[in-house]
Structure 1
Amino acid sequence: MTAVRPEVVAFDVNETLLDLGPVRAALVELGQPADLLPSVFSRTLLTGFAAATAGTWCRFRDAFDAALAQTTDLDAGRRAQVAGAFAELSPHPDVEPALRRLVGAGVRVVTLTHGSPGVAEAALDRGGIAPLVERSLSSEAIRAWKPAREVYLWAAGVCDVEPGRLALVAAHGWDVHGALRAGLTAAWFPRAERSYPAVYDPAAIVAGDLAGAVEALLALPAP
């Protein structure tokens, strides 16, 4: 399928749009290593993915708590303190100009996460860019985790567009792969990941940064 200019662009939230620095700081404040967060975040995803693959489901917050319990000696109260730092996240500096570029070009913008409802909205408000985002979608509403195909198709339905007119932008290769398998256009750029995994379906766009991903989407041919 040939990629075309999207009518709607959905952005992954954690890491792609939002800086997880406050969560890292909360861990350090409780005596944990400064480099612990990537392994906790990866184990959170593993927990959620495994539950979904096995035919069950859990909330992102519960998966994060389980990951903390497996990797630290923090008690339940201190783990809740770390999880609470998700409410303090803010957008990366490159997010506002990227969203403004899309909106200025007449493209609708949404967020799509399997994270806790309200996190994206609060962070967008904190960054002063909430008016640029049409809606924030959490797949908790359908008890599913990305990269399940149903999440991307559900998002397309909510946005009232065909899957091929919805694009996903994410800094996670597994997310891009899931979107591609659901028939979306998908763009990857690096944050924590250094390269797009060769074992996945080729992304429609692999860009050097967020701005490049947005410009490449806008340069796609009209349908």
Structure 2
Amino acid sequence: MKPRIIIFDVNETLLNLIPLKEEVNAALENEMGFEVWFPKLLHYSLVETSTGNYSDFSEIAAATFKMISGKFEKKFSDEEIKNILSEITKLQAYPDVKPGLEQLKNADFKLIAFSNGKPDVLKAQLKYAEIDFLFDGIHSVEEIKKYKPNLESYRFILNKYKISPESALMVAAHAWDILGAQRANLQTCFVERPGKSLYELAEDPDFSVPKITSILEKIS
């Protein structure tokens, strides 16, 4: 079925996290710093949801950064951590993103950005990357207070736009995001960003693409 709306994950799917990675690694003085911290951030966002609680993504990011800093024999003040992680609002879109979104917009698809990030951070990110105007809706899980890949987060978007799961396509570079959307019965598209791979115990997505500019030909 041709989708009526296309839902995009933001970080690593649309925006390149390299500047944040470099900032984190420089602060921790270790090239593995980001690789230790970022999965911990995702892990504790899921802990929050699975235990029926909600703290916003920026709070969890700071708390988990403080948790892992000891592994690298570092100690930071809250203000220092805030400054390090503020790089999240200064990320560029991958080169294929803007032209790919424009193609889909011009083909009359409704485009939705949907992120685990705080609403103000999400909007600042998309504005800095100069792609905010291409979206018909920009949403944070803060509206439902359940982090992706909890199934209710995807259903929130479906209910918001009064659309069936089969009429929505979730686009992400994270296997866990694809899996969550699949199990909420959405169509799925995996974006093959560097270092990203699918989860072998899940079904394959409906299709995979190397770039956002490859999506239109798959769904036309």
* Fold shared, TM-score > 0.5 on shorter chain: yes
Deviation at 1:136, TM superposition (A): 0.7
- Asked if the contact 1:18/1:92 (under 8 Å) is kept, the reply is yes
- Asked if the contact 1:26/1:81 (under 8 Å) is kept, the reply is no
Letter in 2 for 1:21: I
Deviations 1:46-96 (A, max 9, x none): 011122112222211121112211221223221111222222222121110
Cα distance in 2 for partners of 1:109, 1:87 equals: 21
Cα distance in 2 for partners of 1:41, 1:213 equals: 27
Mapping for residues 127-206 of structure 1, pairs under 5 Å = 127-206=129-208
TM-score by structure 2 length?
A: 0.90
Tell me if 1:62 matches 2:64.
no
Deviation at 1:110, TM superposition (A): 0.9
Aligned residue number for residue 14 of structure 2:
17
Deviation at 1:188, TM superposition (A): 0.6
Q: 1:123 to 1:194 in 2, by over 3 A?
A: closer
Task: State which drifts further: 40-49 or 152-161.
Answer: 152-161
Deviation at 1:130, TM superposition (A): 2.0
- Asked if the contact 1:16/1:170 (under 8 Å) is kept, the reply is yes
- Asked if the contact 1:60/1:116 (under 8 Å) is kept, the reply is yes
Q: 1:121 to 1:215 in 2, by over 3 A?
A: farther
For these two proteins, the number of residue pairs brought into alignment is 215
Runs of 5+ unmatched residues, structure 1 = none
Letter in 2 for 1:170: A
Q: 1:138 to 1:194 in 2, by over 3 A?
A: closer
Letter in 1 for 2:139: L
Task: State which drifts further: 137-146 or 121-130.
Answer: 121-130
Deviations 1:25-53 (A, max 9, x none): 33245353244213211110001112211
Identity %: 25
Letter in 2 for 1:38: E
Letter in 1 for 2:132: A
Q: 1:194 to 1:126 in 2, by over 3 A?
A: closer
SS at match of 1:147: coil
Cα distance in 2 for partners of 1:81, 1:190 equals: 30
Q: 1:213 to 1:37 in 2, by over 3 A?
A: farther
Cα distance in 1 for partners of 2:77, 2:129 equals: 32
Q: 1:46 aligns with which of 21, 34, 43?
A: 43
- Asked if the contact 1:188/1:213 (under 8 Å) is kept, the reply is no
Cα distance in 2 for partners of 1:130, 1:89 equals: 13
- Asked if the contact 1:7/1:165 (under 8 Å) is kept, the reply is yes
Cα distance in 2 for partners of 1:180, 1:210 equals: 19
Letter in 1 for 2:60: A
Task: State which drifts further: 124-133 or 180-189.
Answer: 124-133
Aligned residue number for residue 94 of structure 1:
96
Task: State which drifts further: 141-150 or 84-93.
Answer: 84-93
Cα distance in 1 for partners of 2:114, 2:35 equals: 21
Cα distance in 2 for partners of 1:61, 1:214 equals: 33
